[in-house]
Amino acid sequence: MRPLNPFNKPQPSNDPAPSRWSYRMERLWLTPAFRKCVRVFLPAMLVVAGIGLYFSDADRQKVISEKYAEIRRSVEERPEFMVKIMAIDGASSGLNNAIREVMPVDLPLSSFDLDLEAMRKQVESLDAVKRVDVRVRAGGLLQINVEERVPAVVWRGPDGLELLDVGGHRVSAVQSRAARPDLPLIAGEGANTAVPEALALLERTSPIRDRVLGVVRISERRWDVVLNRDQRIMLPPLQPDLALDRVLALNEAQDLLKRDVTHIDIRNPDRPTLRMTSDALTSMREMQGIKVNSN
C-alpha cells in the first residue's frame, strides 16, 4: 500500500505530473485574453509608467525643454532661414513709411519667428490698406504686396475732414477741403455709411457740376444736395435718384435753379415744394396782388 500520510510522501523520481498550481498557471497562460494582457498591455503600461516617472521630475523636464529649445533655435537661426530685407510693393511713400512703422518685427529675423498672418492683420488694420499679401520669398526677402484704398470722397464728419473710399471706408484724414479739390464733398452724420449712394447722386448731378458743393446726409436717412448761392435740393429717403432726375429735368426745362429759390423740397415726390427768398416772395405776392386786383 502506498503511504497515505501527506508528510511522508515518497518522492517519485520521475513523476512528470505538473503540480496543481503549475497546471493552473499553464492553463492561465494559454488563455488568449490573459496572454495578450501580459504580453502587450503589461509592457505597454510599464513603458508608459517609466516614461511618466522619468518626466515627472521638474528639473529634468526643464533640462529637456531647454535642450529642445536650443536645438530648435540652432536650426531656426541657420542663415538659410533668416529674413533680412522687407520689400513693399504697391504702396505710396507715406503708406510705405506707415507700414514700416507698424510692422512689429526687427529684421534680420528667422522665418520661423515670423507670424505672417499676424503681420498681414497688422498691415490690414491700416485704413489706407485695402488688401495685403505677406510672404517670405527666397533669398531672405519679406515681400509685402499692398493694394491701397483709393479715396473717392471727402467727408466732413464729426472728427473733421476725412477721405473715404467708394465703400465708405476711411482712408486718411485731410487737413482742408482745398487739399483734395478733385474729390466731391459729403457731409452729415452717417454719410460715411452711404457713400455709394452719395456717389450715385453726385454722378447724376453732372449737368450742374459747377454748381454742386456737395451732398449732406440728413438724419442718417436722406440726402440734401447743396448748391452754391445757398440753394439746396432736399431729396426723399426712397429713390432719391429719380427725385433728383425730376429736379434736374425741371431745371433744364424752366431753369429752376437759376431762379430765386433757396430750397427745392422734393421729400414728398407727390408734392414738390419750393422755398423762395423773401424778395422773391414779396414780388410774387405783388404779382399775385395785381392778378387778384385785375380779377
List of residues contacting another protein (CB under 8 A): 2, 15-18, 20, 23-24, 26-27, 30-32
Considering the complex, what minimum distance in angstroms separates the CB of residue 25 from another protein? 10
Cβ atoms < 10 Å from Cβ of 267 = 16
Considering the complex, what minimum distance in angstroms separates the CB of residue 26 from another protein? 6
Largest distance between two CA atoms of the chain? 166
Q: Could you tell me which residues come within 8 angstroms of residue 266 by beta carbon, excluding any fewer than 6 positions away? A: 233, 234, 235, 236, 243, 246, 247, 272, 273
Nearer to another protein, 26 or 189 (CB): 26
Nearer to another protein, 30 or 53 (CB): 30
User: What length does the chain have?
Assistant: 295
Nearer to another protein, 23 or 68 (CB): 23
Nearer to another protein, 4 or 292 (CB): 4
What distance in Å separates the CA atoms of residue 59 and residue 204, rounded to the nearest whole number? Answer: 76
Nearer to another protein, 17 or 138 (CB): 17
The one-letter amino acid at 184 = P
Considering the complex, what minimum distance in angstroms separates the CB of residue 37 from another protein? 14
Considering the complex, what minimum distance in angstroms separates the CB of residue 42 from another protein? 19
- Which of 258, 216, 276 lies closest to 240, judged by CA? 216
Nearer to another protein, 16 or 139 (CB): 16
Considering the complex, what minimum distance in angstroms separates the CB of residue 53 from another protein? 35
Residue 237, C-alpha cell as written in the block: 429717403
Strands (E), 78-221: 82-83, 85-89, 109-110, 129-137, 141-148, 153-157, 160-164, 170-173, 185-187, 212-218
Nearer to another protein, 12 or 104 (CB): 12
- Which of 160, 244, 267 lies closest to 198, judged by CA? 244
Considering the complex, what minimum distance in angstroms separates the CB of residue 30 from another protein? 4
Across the strands, what pairs with 146? 132
Considering the complex, what minimum distance in angstroms separates the CB of residue 54 from another protein? 37
Say if residues 225 and 206 touch (Cβ distance below 8 Å). Answer: no
Q: β-strands 82-83, 109-110: how paired?
A: antiparallel
Considering the complex, what minimum distance in angstroms separates the CB of residue 3 from another protein? 12
- Which of 121, 74, 125, 116 lies closest to 95, judged by CA? 125
Nearer to another protein, 24 or 131 (CB): 24
Q: How many helices (H) and strands (E) does the chain have?
A: 9, 14
